[in-house]
Structure 1
Amino acid sequence: MATTNSFDNNLKKLEEIANLLSQDDLPLEKGIKLFKEGMKIIAKCKTQLQKAKDEVETYLQPKENET
């Protein structure tokens, strides 16, 4: 069930990018590339979190048949 784009994998990749961006000797071009990659991953994570939130909210809503 785990995919290469799982939320946990995306968080790990973001951590790696953050560590690379904190290096003093990082060339500007590479820094910009990593920043853009990080922003794309953040967007994916936001989508995944929203999807999970929606699923939980749907599950917690009372069913029409239940009284």
Structure 2
Amino acid sequence: MKKTAFEDNIKRIEEIIGYIEGNQVSLDESVKYFEEGMKLIKECESKLETTKKKVVKLVSKDGEMTEEPLDEGEENGV
């Protein structure tokens, strides 16, 4: 299966966290990585929000399948 840009962004964020937490870079480099990470996080949040709006659940009504928007509580597994 081909990785999506979202998955690539998550992988890169994990790499950045590793660099910063591992003290593998200077303070200046840490700041640059932090800025890059924040940009990637915002891109991921935007993609998640777009995807969330597309999610629907199938509900059987009168023997027919219909689509209804995902309830707010259900998105958190409630």
What count of residue pairs does the alignment treat as equivalent? 60
Deviation beyond 3 Å, 4+ runs, structure 1: 57-60
Q: Unmatched 5+ residue regions in structure 1?
A: 63-67
TM-score using structure 1 length: 0.75
Q: Unmatched 5+ residue regions in structure 2?
A: 59-66, 70-78
Q: Which has the higher contact order (CA 8 A, sep 6+)?
A: 1
Task: Report the structure number with the largest CA radius of gyration.
Answer: 2
Identity of aligned residues (%): 32
* Root-mean-square deviation over aligned CA pairs: 2.4
Q: Which residue of 1 aligns with 2:75?
A: none
Greater share of helix:
1
Greater share of strand:
2
